[in-house]
Amino acid sequence: MKTSRVCILGGTGFVGRHLITRLTAAGICCRVPSRHPQRHRELQVSSLVKLIEADPFQPA
């Protein structure tokens, strides 16, 4: 069975942090985009959480 993956927009905020905790406890892999991922390393509570550098104000 494949592991489910979700992208959590707002994952570094109050609600997003709680959502990440619940999803990873259920075995779901979470991708969390952030402009400054180095500021949120505490979110990487397991290998199921991956912080991704993403800035919506910068062109791709």
Residue 25: enclosing H or E segment and its boundaries? Answer: helix 14-25
- Parse the chain into domains and list their residue ranges: 5-53
pLDDT digits (tens, 9 = 90+) for 3-58: 899 999 999 999 999 999 999 999 999 999 999 988 988 888 789 999 999 988 88
Q: What is the pTM of this model?
A: 0.82
- Exposed/middle/buried for 16, CB within 10 Å: 0-12, 13-18, 19+? middle
- Whether the Cβ atoms of residue 31 and residue 8 lie closer than 8 Å to each other: yes
What are the counts of helices (DSSP H) followed by strands (DSSP E) for the chain?
Answer: 1, 3
- Whether the Cβ atoms of residue 31 and residue 5 lie closer than 8 Å to each other: yes
